[in-house]
Amino acid sequence: MHLDTPITLGGLTLPNRIAISPMCQYSAVDGVVQPWHSMHLGSMAISGAGLVIAEATGVLPEGRISPHCPGLWSDAQEAALTRLIAGIRAYSDTPLGIQLGHAGRKAPAEGFDSGRPAPPELGWPTVGPSDIAPQEDWPSPRPLDEEGIARIVEAFAAAARRATRAGMTLIELHGAHGYLLSAFLSPLANRRTDRFGGSLENRMRLPLMVADAVRAALPEGVTMGMRINGTDHAEGGITPDEAGTLAVALREAGLDYVCVSAGGNSRHQQIPPTVPGYQVGLAEEVRRRSGLPTMAVGMILTGRQAEDILAEGRADMVAIGRAALDDPRWPRHALQSLGARPDYPRPYWRSGPDIWRGYAAVHPEAGPG
């Protein structure tokens, strides 16, 4: 079986190939994580996953996706995150990471995936590579100048230092879905004529500057990756070929993996039908071109599907999102459906297939205990 095989990413060895994706919870207050975050991440930390990555966390106040998203620019935010991780560590040794990002022109959103901008009284001026609004009813961003770019690069490095002090052992940069780093990469959002626009080399400059700054800020042994777009799903946007070139550059910059997603840079995007595994081919292409360990995402629903993705060499890991919200024990159930017998937290041991006679009735795909 491939799904329960350990994998080493940088200085971190994961016990299996299942990661819990960063998923916005829209439940922070002034960027400070709340008891809900402890419940959510604590539940994921006892799910049986090999890695749990906390949601997109803004490196600056205006870098949050919504007014209700967490941030990591203040001492209060760092202290709250430190307490959260310490609480999880009292009962789980599951590796924990965090996704750091800047929302750029796609902020501030109302929250809870509404697709609408936040009310003016909760908003802030937005920035981007160019003055192109993400949607017709969104404001146009202010194009960043060199001083603004330098401020953002340093903010990523400072947030990474705070995250590792708090106890995170993996940093993922958000370079997908049309947020700031993704917008700089995409010719659909980036119409600059300076050293940050035009050629792919120029459009990669800011993401690579951030990668270099964060890598330099991290203690030895902390793993680092980036979520990137394999395509913009729109004519003239990022292509899998360009995504592969970016992944090569990220590997040379010292990153340990990429997670490959798609979309979010164009109001004219044409996303294909969201059938199971609809984005896996993007991860496969980036992996083939770059040789960098790669996570696949997108409607990965069963243990067998995840195992087949790995067995066929299409990705090195799978990252699970909404399926884990639906079933917070998805990783353990997926592994058990393939014949593995992962450990249970001691308070839950009576629900395991070797103890509870009802397990086979509830999970017939797992076979006898």
pLDDT one digit per residue (tens) for the chain, 369 residues: 999 999 999 999 999 999 999 999 999 999 999 999 999 999 999 999 999 999 999 999 999 999 999 999 999 999 999 999 999 999 999 999 999 999 999 999 988 877 789 988 888 999 999 999 998 889 999 999 999 999 999 999 999 999 999 999 999 999 999 999 999 999 999 999 999 999 999 999 999 999 999 999 999 999 999 999 999 999 999 999 999 999 999 999 999 999 999 999 999 899 989 999 999 999 999 999 999 999 999 999 999 999 999 999 999 999 999 999 999 999 999 999 999 999 899 999 999 998 899 998 998 877 654
The verdict on residue 2 lying in a domain is no
DSSP 71: B
Please tell me whether residues 50 and 141 are part of one structural domain.
yes
Look at residues 173, 202, 176, 138 and name the one whose alpha carbon lies nearest to residue 59.
173
Degrees to nearest 5, angle at CA 167 with 166 and 170: 115
Please tell me whether residues 354 and 264 are part of one structural domain.
no
pLDDT at 367: 62
Please tell me whether residues 273 and 308 are part of one structural domain.
yes
The verdict on residue 21 lying in a domain is yes
The verdict on residue 216 lying in a domain is yes
- Cβ neighbours around 251 below 10 Å, total: 16
pLDDT at 136: 87
Sign of the CA dihedral with 160 first, then 165, 171, and 176 last: negative
Look at residues 111, 229, 112, 215 and name the one whose alpha carbon lies nearest to residue 157.
215
Instruction: Give, for 57, the enclosing helix (H) or strand (E).
Output: strand 51-58
The verdict on residue 148 lying in a domain is yes
Pinpoint the alpha helices (H) of the chain. 35-45, 75-89, 146-166, 180-185, 200-203, 205-217, 240-252, 280-290, 303-311, 322-326, 330-337, 359-362
Residue 227 CA, chain-centre distance (Å), reads 6
Domain that holds residue 362: 339-369
Percent of the chain with pLDDT over 90: 90
* Mutual angle of helices 303-311 and 330-337, in 10-degree steps: 70
Q: How many domains does the chain have?
A: 2
The verdict on residue 363 lying in a domain is yes
Instruction: Give the residues across from 260 on adjacent strands.
Output: 228, 296
Please tell me whether residues 268 and 345 are part of one structural domain.
no
Please tell me whether residues 199 and 166 are part of one structural domain.
yes
Dist CA 242 CA 69 (whole Å): 30
pLDDT at 366: 76
The verdict on residue 328 lying in a domain is yes
pLDDT at 120: 86
Residues 6+ apart with CB under 8 A from 228: 175, 176, 182, 185, 243, 246, 247, 250, 258, 259, 260, 261, 286
pLDDT at 368: 56
Please tell me whether residues 186 and 327 are part of one structural domain.
yes
Please tell me whether residues 200 and 93 are part of one structural domain.
yes
What average pLDDT does the structure give for the chain? Answer: 96
Phi and psi of 13, rounded to 5°?
A: -105, 120
Please tell me whether residues 284 and 357 are part of one structural domain.
no
Please tell me whether residues 300 and 347 are part of one structural domain.
no
Please tell me whether residues 259 and 285 are part of one structural domain.
yes
Catalytic residues: 179
Yes or no: say if 159 and 210 are a contact pair by the CB < 8 Å rule: no
Yes or no: say if 138 and 117 are a contact pair by the CB < 8 Å rule: yes
Cα dist. 163→59, 106, 144, 159, 266 in Å? 11, 24, 26, 6, 31
Please tell me whether residues 369 and 243 are part of one structural domain.
no
pLDDT at 214: 98
The verdict on residue 219 lying in a domain is yes
Dist CA 57 CA 93 (whole Å): 22
pLDDT at 369: 46
pLDDT at 113: 72
Please tell me whether residues 349 and 279 are part of one structural domain.
no
**CATH number of 217's domain:** 3.20.20.70
The verdict on residue 1 lying in a domain is no
Phi and psi of 348, rounded to 5°?
A: -110, 5
Dist CA 45 CA 246 (whole Å): 31
